[in-house]
Amino acid sequence: MSTRSDHSRTGEKVSPIYSFMDVVAREAEEYAAVHTTPMSPLLEEIERFTLTRTLYPSMLTGRVQGRFLQLVVQLSGARCIVDIGTFTGYSAMAMAEALPPDGRILTIDHNPEHARLARDFFSRSPAGNRITLRLGEALDILKSLPDGRTDLVFIDADKRNYIAYYEESMRMVRDGGLILADNALWYGRIFDPRDDDSRAVAAFNERVQGDDRAVKLFLTIRDGIYLIRKKGRDAGS
Ligand X SMILES: C[S@@+](CC[C@H](N)C(=O)[O-])C[C@H]1O[C@@H](n2cnc3c(N)ncnc32)[C@H](O)[C@@H]1O
Residues that bind ligand X (CB under 6 A): 59-61, 85-88, 90-91, 108-111, 114, 137-138, 156-158, 161
Single-letter amino acid code for the residue at 235: A
Q: Which is nearer to ligand X, 47 or 151 (CB)?
A: 47
Phi (first) and psi of residue 184, to 5 degrees: -70, -20
Residue 186, Cβ neighbours under 10 Å: how many?
25
Three-state DSSP state, 211: coil
Q: Which is nearer to ligand X, 88 or 169 (CB)?
A: 88
Three-state DSSP state, 182: strand
Q: Which is nearer to ligand X, 61 or 125 (CB)?
A: 61
Give the closest residue to 140 by CA, choosing from 172, 163, 168.
168
Sheet hosting strand 150-155, strand order edge to edge: 131-135, 104-109, 80-84, 150-155, 173-182, 225-230, 214-219
Q: How far is the CB of 6 from ligand X (least distance, A)?
A: 24
Phi (first) and psi of residue 125, to 5 degrees: -135, 145
Phi (first) and psi of residue 139, to 5 degrees: -65, -40
Q: Which is nearer to ligand X, 32 or 59 (CB)?
A: 59
Residue 206, Cβ neighbours under 10 Å: how many?
12
Q: Which is nearer to ligand X, 108 or 202 (CB)?
A: 108
Q: How far is the CB of 2 from ligand X (least distance, A)?
A: 20
Q: Which is nearer to ligand X, 133 or 173 (CB)?
A: 133
